[in-house]
Amino acid sequence: MSRPRAWRSPEKIRKCRPRPVTDAPFEIPDSKVGQLDALLHGSGALELIDTELAGRPGPDGLPVRTVLVGLLLSLHYHRSASLADVCRVLLDELRAPARGWLGVPDPGSLDDHGRHAFTRRIYRSFDRLTTALDPFRCDRRRRLPADEAALAVAAWEDTDAERMRRRAVLQEISDRLVLTTVHLAHRRGLFKGWRGDIGVDTTPVPAWHHEPCKQRGLASVEITAGWHYCAGSSEGVFGHSATLLVAASRRHPSGHSQAGKRVSRHPQLVLGLVLDTPGKRIGPNTVHALTKLVPLGFPAGILASDRAYTDQVSEHFAQPARRLGYQLVLDYKKVHRGVQGTHQGALLVDGSLACPAMPTALAQATLGLDDEAVRGIDDNTRLREQIAAREPYFLRLKESADKRGAIRLQCPASGPSPSVACPRFNQVHQIPAPRPAVVDLTNRRATTAHTAAKPTIPIPQVERLRPLPTKELPRICQKPTITVRPGDLGKLDKFRQDRHYLHPTWQDAYQPERANIEGANGRLKSHGINIADPSKRLAHGRVAQTVLLALMICSANLQMLFSWTQTTGTTANSGIVDAITELEGTAPASTTANGLPPPQPPVTADTSR
């Protein structure tokens, strides 16, 4: 057997040899710098930052815009939000046009002292931002005594006007950095098929520093951090808690309604972010993030949350979410399953009001079930049958929520199409016995609507012989309809939800939306941008952590958009450039060699003519 010709050619052999890795730094295209800079300008965060920094004593220093663009570039190419990586990106990886846009000096003209001086300018610029937004400026380079740290912690909780204003500005900057990618996707029509379903979760954001030391009386460097306990875990994570909203979707009970391969109709972007101390303001933080979505005109669909939100006071979570138009789909702890209370005589069974005479076996079908039994309902035939047998006994919706959030519910035995047969209802309202009628047994609809095919409310034998006076009956039995207003159930209002617990319609919404939020958490804590790795965001203080985390979410959303467009086959290049030009608010007069306009702040039209 003869050898291939390529093996006998020394020239071809030399070309196939592996090339050594060059020591030259990587060069970032000017187009990527311009896109991220335009995206940052379009977010509006720079306007708030410039307003806060205006009038501060001392020289202006390096613009904060340069540092933020460097952070976005570092996250995009190196998956890091460390200022040390930002220094290397700005000095060694930018081309001459991009350096001119951002005000970065030519690295060839700098010696070691010049590079060190520029590095210090980057750190001072970021420090000016965190100082201007910090409600209580303290030494973040050492562990403070517990009494001094308590003063700084109180500044994040008190009602001082200036401190509240700074906290609000910081949150607004975080909102704008996260929502700029959502605006970008929305303007391109990527949320056209989205129903407005949202999955919400609170995830731990670990801190780099040690927890407080009680023996030495020292606080942590992260003075507002605490212990975050995930569901089912007895070991806490020291750091902050991040409330995340993710664009989710429900599934069809019988599978996907369209034929062919099932693909996502919209990108599952992070729609909101609030960083806070663990265990603080879990419900209000979610409501704040939901409120920020109202100006975008998104529909209000289903809001799926875990048991941490079920424990929230109704005024802090359930009621504001319903006023925004969302339907709640909740889960319960083991001790909260089954009959949870009563309202106007009706039983509150797993978050839904039901007939007071519902059989006990059905009402307490979920009593004492652990989480594994609930998650494995598909393999539990008896439980599925009991959940299906509950449905006729639930009160039915007669009128949807009005402006005040009040709904009208009616007895399951009332109306033109009752779901149960109730002797008590027939006696109180003097309903005559139905006349015998011929039923076509081959007609499924006719046989289902017949009284004999419906379950009968089990009335005690004593009451059948001696009916109770109308005044002694439950309120729902005296009149067929009741009005449920926000807060009418008192402490039980936090358990009320809009889909019957464990019913197929509940699983159709809860399971996929919880999978969406967990999938987003997995992407945010993956080998790429890992928000769970504190070494990627080493800056001290809650202000710095909030800004860095918002930039990480913004960069992760851009990656999700790119992955989604590649998966679905959507052409994204021209659309992104057009959307960024629209966000920038001005048509550039000149372009660079690569066809991208040099980034500029929005230009105000001249009206003096």
Beta strands in 388-526 (DSSP E): 396-399, 407-410, 481-484
Distance in angstroms (rounded) separating the CA atoms of residues 607 and 609: 6
Average pLDDT over residues 506-535: 89
pLDDT of residue 72: 95
Specify the pTM: 0.86
CA-wise closest residue to 24 among 102, 95, 73: 95
What average pLDDT does the structure give for the chain? 84
pLDDT of residue 22: 60
pLDDT tens figures, 207-233? 998 888 888 889 898 899 999 988 767
| Among 26-30, 120-124, 253-257, 360-364, the least confident range | 253-257
Average pLDDT over residues 37-56: 92
CB 464 within 8 A of CB 355: no
> How far lies 346's CA from each of 352, 354, 410, 420, 473, in Å?
9, 6, 11, 15, 11
Split at pLDDT 50, 70, 90, the class of 554 is very high
**Residues 6+ away with beta carbon under 8 Å from 92:** 25, 107
Which uninterrupted H or E stretch holds 226? strand 226-228
CB 199 within 8 A of CB 302: no
Q: Is the pLDDT of residue 180 over 50?
A: yes
**Residues 6+ away with beta carbon under 8 Å from 191:** 185, 247, 266, 298
| Exposure of 585 in the CB half-sphere (CA atoms within 13 A) | 12
Q: Is the pLDDT of residue 593 over 50?
A: no
**Residues 6+ away with beta carbon under 8 Å from 193:** 265, 266
Percent pLDDT > 90 in the chain is 49
Split at pLDDT 50, 70, 90, the class of 566 is confident
191: Cα separation from own chain's centroid: 16
pLDDT of residue 456: 86
Q: Is the pLDDT of residue 599 over 80?
A: no
Distance in angstroms (rounded) separating the CA atoms of residues 310 and 381: 27
pLDDT tens figures, 390-433? 999 999 999 888 888 889 999 998 888 888 988 888 888 877 66
pLDDT tens figures, 125-148? 999 999 999 998 888 788 888 888
* Neighbour-count burial of 367, counting CB atoms closer than 10 A to its CB (0-12 exposed, 13-18 middle, 19+ buried): middle
Residue 215's φ and ψ, nearest 5 degrees, are: -65, -40
Distance in angstroms (rounded) separating the CA atoms of residues 579 and 592: 19
pLDDT of residue 172: 96
Average pLDDT over residues 87-115: 91
CB 246 within 8 A of CB 191: no
Distance in angstroms (rounded) separating the CA atoms of residues 35 and 581: 9
CB atoms within 10 A of CB 17: 7
Distance in angstroms (rounded) separating the CA atoms of residues 556 and 565: 14
> How far lies 168's CA from each of 57, 164, 177, 409, 487, in Å?
23, 6, 14, 40, 28
CB 309 within 8 A of CB 514: no
Split at pLDDT 50, 70, 90, the class of 596 is very low
